[in-house]
Amino acid sequence: MSAEKFDAVDIIGIKRDRGVLSPEQIDWTIDAYTRGAIADEQMAALNMAILLNGMTRSEISRWTAAMIASGERMDFSSLGKPTTDKHSTGGVGDKITLPLAPLVAVFGVAVPQLSGRGLGHTGGTLDKLEAIPGWRADLSNEDLMKQLADVGAVICAAGAGLAPADKKLYALRDVTGTVEAIPLIASSIMSKKIAEGTGSLILDVKVGSGAFMKDEENARELAETMVALGKDAGVNTVALLTNMATPLGLTAGNVIEVQESVDVLAGGGPEDVVELTVRLAEEMLAAAGLPDADPAAALKDGRAMDVWKRMISAQGGDPDAALPQARESETIYAPADGVLLELDALSVGVAAWRLGAGRARKEDAVQAGAGVRMHAKPGAQVRAGQPLMTLLTDTPEKFERAKEALENAVVIGPEGSRPAQKLIIDRIS
């Protein structure tokens, strides 16, 4: 057995003392951890040192490149058309990927949307789509390429071959209090997205109570770090900072978010979901070389719906099938007259999770029909006794804890007391 090039204790010491790791040290660290030469407790100590002391841009860039090098890189050059992708840092009611991928594909741009499942209060795109009878998330690379060529859009699970170092590192960060380290968040997201191989990437970085990043300063730092990583790797990358103080749309769950996405594809749906879908589509199309495309028109005239149906059918789903519905429901009513000033995203997300729409552990099952349907958004005039939310689940014993999560979710005040909130806070390029 050959001697290791470096020593894990020395690497930890450098970051503990606010030093800078060399490219060779970073390459060795990621490789050695992936193959088991660095123990979990040693990598946990290094992650904590990075959380506390940060990394330089060159360190983060090399760390990301080393994670990419741990696995395969996809290549879409044989498609003969531009490729683009979107990544959201996650929020409550964030079903944007569902209408967005087929909408962008209308214009001859390929969208390989590799997505994940939900954990905790943020929903997972694959969980939502798996509520459609027959739809499957797992595709081979060959199936993925064929669908991109034929339909133009794919939403599926990422293969195990993309950045396997990240899978191991993420699991460790999750149990050692180091998930919040911005260099590690940025490299985790961007290693997979760069390895995915699209020509451009649009990032939707959420800010607010229902987001991973609660304050704008940290969200901006994360966005700027990820945009820089994309540029360093030759991927045209832009980020939007978007508001997640209030849930997106009027649904938080799985089936009910699919239904709302179909409403958007049919030319209707909530204003905020339509606004963000169109804006992200404009960014994706501009990055792919089509700045004059009109995605709003493609939502209204049915072209995006046509691609949606073909995309769902190509993955074994029936886009016209009846969707499963929750067996039980309970309504929450407005306690007073006035203007709905706040509807807290985190509270709604936790309630949906407790009703069965999400999971506490990766291996948990989710209920397709569970979730929260909202009947008013901040700014709306409400009357005492008016329905504000309907809670949905198959297991009525879950209602009590869901209602506990919503105890302080709603603020109602006098008319004119709510300042307007922007959905899109800033663009970072």
3.40.50.2000, 1.10.3720.10, 1.20.140.160, 3.90.1170.30: CATH of 328-413: 3.90.1170.30
- Per-residue model confidence (pLDDT) at position 170: 86
Q: Which two tokens stand for residue 146?
A: 């064929």
Decide if pLDDT at 304 tops 90.
Answer: yes
Q: Measured between alpha carbons, how far is 421 from 116 in angstroms, rounded to an integer?
A: 29
Residue 178: other Cβ atoms inside 10 A:
22
Looking at the predicted structure, is the pLDDT value of residue 181 above 70?
Answer: yes
**If you ran DSSP here, which 8-state letter would residue 394 be given?**
S
User: 5-49, pLDDT tens digit by residue?
Assistant: 999 999 999 999 999 999 999 999 999 999 999 999 999 999 999
Of 127, 166, 272, 344, the active-site residue reads 166
pLDDT at 134: 96
375 is catalytic: no
Residue 342 confidence (pLDDT) above 60: yes
pLDDT at 117: 77
* Cβ-based burial of 146 (10 A; exposed 0-12, middle 13-18, buried ≥19): middle
pLDDT, mean of residues 313-317: 97
Clarify whether 121 is annotated catalytic. no
Q: Is 173 a catalytic residue?
A: yes
- pLDDT score of 227: 97
Domain ranges of the chain: 77-159+193-314, 328-413
Residue 191 carries which side chain, given as an amino acid letter? S
Q: What secondary structure does DSSP assign to 44-80, as a single string?
A: HHHHHHHHHH---HHHHHHHHHHHHHTS-----GGG-
192 noted as active-site residue = yes
- Indicate which residue of 62, 86, 87, 220 is catalytic: 87
Q: Which of 145-149, 177-181, 293-297, 405-409 has the lowest mean pLDDT?
A: 177-181
- Kindly state the percentage of the chain with pLDDT values over 90: 87
Q: Looking at 218-227, 294-303, 373-382, 416-425, which range is the least confident one?
A: 416-425
Say what the pLDDT of residue 365 is: 82
| Pairing between β-strand 200-207 and β-strand 236-243 as defined by DSSP bridges | parallel
CA distances from 24 to 5, 32, 282, 316 (A): 9, 12, 40, 46
Weakest-pLDDT range from 261-275, 316-330, 362-376 = 362-376
The single residue of 168, 173, 193, 220 carrying the catalytic annotation is: 173
Structural contact between residues 158 and 338, judged by C-beta atoms closer than 8 angstroms: no
Task: Give this prediction's pTM.
Answer: 0.93
Across residues 121-136, what is the average pLDDT? 90
Q: What is the pLDDT of residue 219?
A: 96
Choosing from 188, 209, 261, 347, which is the catalytic residue?
Answer: 188
Comparing 198-202, 286-290, 360-364, which segment has the lowest mean pLDDT? 360-364
87 noted as active-site residue: yes
Per the residue annotation, which of 117, 121, 128, 192 is the catalytic one?
A: 192
The CATH architecture that domain 77-159+193-314 belongs to is 3-Layer(aba) Sandwich (3.40)
Of 1-10, 30-39, 125-134, 405-414, the least confident? 1-10
392 pLDDT more than 80: yes
